[in-house]
Structures are given as structure tokens and as C-alpha cells.
Amino acid sequence: MPASQHARRHAILLMIIAATLWSSAGVASRHLQTAAGFEIVFWRSLFAAIFVAGLMLHQYGRGFPGRLKLMGTTGMVSGLMWATMYSCFMIALTLTTVANTSVMESLAPLFTALLSWLVLKERIPAATWIAIAMAACGMAWMFAGNLTLTDSRGVLGMLVALGIPLASSVNMILLKRRAHTVDLIPAVFLGGSFSALAMLPLSLPFQASLHDVLILGALGFFQLGLPCSLMVKASASLKAHEVALLALLEVLLAPLWAWLWAGENPNSATLAGGTIVLLALIINEIWNWHQKQGESQ
């Protein structure tokens, strides 16, 4: 097997692991006792920053601060994009429903494909555009029964949620442009730090119990810090829109964990929409595999 194909398969596996870890947030949050809203973002972001700092210290030792400087402006902007995603998600949930927020998140592959075409001059295959459209339709179907736009607060929440796919797509382009020359995993540390600092004044006075802090610490480590670092690694071998599409597995898997471990039975719309999303991801990967096979012959 050519080295490029091996690297690609490894990257796809990393993205599947990352999306699986991201999808654990809903089930874990069911066990929180007193923490809510901005305080959840604060603790989760803080522990994500601590995790990545430990990862970088283990890898680079005292050279960790130098790695932050080496990223330059690209790393700073990437960090701001991570912070925007962390913060907008929770702020949106305080204003609107999970369904509304999730559907807005599903726009990330579309925005990423458009930016890849405009900025990176990548040719986006017709099959990928079809997969993106299918995934968006599947996501809308999954949450159609819960979509609401009944008041200005809900509309504001969806506008805030729009910051998630916008920031994600910009971050994807940054990763693709610099991933081969600069290690951008420290940008995940900056993202957690920026988000925690922004949420700190909004979180006071703290209400989280020790039980909650331990859960949020686990989420920061394994639901933010680790999977975001894996995504940075995967982006070196996958196109930006592929990463964005594979990331949709997060929203696809979240209802499954809620069904298995929280007793929340998925309705028919969730099952049908989820099937469409899964088919979109499979079709895109099969198409890319055939393309790679054709190029290697």
C-alpha cells in the first residue's frame, strides 16, 4: 500500500475516534448536578487547555513556549477559532434548542468546501457536493420535529450557533495551509485558554460541585483536548471538507449514546436522518477511494 494511502486511512481512523469522543458530551452532561451554562464552558475549556499543555510538555519539554511562538499569527487565529467554537456552542444552547444548534453545526462541511475552493483552489468533486447536501438534509431530518423559530431569542441563538461552522471552516483552512510546516496542536491549548478566560467572568459565582468539576475535567481532557488534537493530526492527510464531513459523526453518534446509556429512545426521524448522514459519509469515502485507486494506476 502506498504511504499516502496508509496515511489517509490512519487519518480517517483518527477522525472517527475524534468524532466518537466529541459525541460523549451529551451523555456525560446528564450526570451534572449544579454546573450550568457558562460555567460548563469554563471548566471544560480550562481542562482542555491543561490536557494539551501536558501533552506538549511531554513532547517538547521546556521547548513548549517556543512552539507557541513558532505558530505565529496562524496559531493565534486558529486558537481564536477553537475558542469561538467552544464558546458559541454553549452560548447558543442557552438561547435556543440542541436541535437548532446541531442543524447550524451541520453547515460546516458546506462552508469548508466553499473556502477550500476559494482560498486553497481545491477542486471539489461533484460526489462531495452531493454528500454535503445529503448530510445537511439528513441532519435537518434528524431534528426536524424539534426545530423552532418561535421568538427572537431562538433566532439569536441560531445566529450565535452560526459562529460554530464559520469558525470551524476557517480553522480547517488554516490547518490545511500550515499543517505540513507548523505544529498547530498548541493552538488547541490557546483555544481552551481563550475560551476559559472569556467565560470566567460570566461563570461567577461558581456553583459546580466537586462531582461536576470531575466530570467536566474528564470532558475537557477526553471530549475536547484529545479529539481536537487528533483532528489537527488528521488534517495533514485529509482535505479540509473531508475532515468537516467526518466530524458530523459526532452529531450522528450522540443520540446513540443517549439511547444506550441515558434511556432516550431515538424517534423515526432521528433514525432516518442519521441513516442519510451515514450514507453521505460512506458515499464520499467510496468516491475518494476510487479516485485514489485511479490515480495510483
Amino acid 278: pLDDT: 86
In terms of pLDDT, which residue wins out, 160 or 268? Answer: 160
Instruction: Say what the pLDDT of residue 289 is.
Output: 74
Tell me: pLDDT of 193 over 80: yes
Q: What are the residues whose beta carbons fall under 8 Å from the beta carbon of 241, sequence distance 6 or more?
A: 109, 112, 113, 116, 122, 124, 128, 132, 172
Residue 179 has pLDDT above 80, yes or no: no
Specify the long-range contacts of residues 284-292, CB closer than 8 Å, at least 24 apart. Answer: 284/127, 284/128, 284/131, 284/242, 284/245, 285/12, 287/125, 287/127, 287/128, 287/131, 288/242, 291/125, 292/4, 292/5, 292/8
Residue 187: is its pLDDT beyond 90? Answer: yes
pTM of the full predicted structure?
0.88
Average pLDDT, the chain: 87
> By the 8 A CB rule, do 12 and 233 touch?
no
Amino acid at 135: A
- Burial label, 35 (beta-carbon count in 10 A; 0-12, 13-18, 19+): buried
Nearest to 48 by CA among 170, 250, 186: 186
- Surface-to-core class of residue 297, CB atoms within 10 Å of its CB (0-12 exposed, 13-18 middle, 19+ buried): exposed
**Looking at 71-75, 110-114, 147-151, 162-166, which range is the least confident one?**
147-151
Other C-beta atoms lying within 10 Å of the C-beta of residue 293 = 10
- Fill in the amino acid letter for 289: W
Average pLDDT over residues 137-144: 82
Interatomic CA distance for residues 139 and 295, integer angstroms: 33
The values of phi and psi at residue 36, to 5°, are: -155, 160
* Per-residue pLDDT band at 202 (split at 50, 70, 90): very high
3-class secondary structure, 30: coil
Q: How confident is the model at residue 151 (pLDDT cuts 50, 70, 90)?
A: low
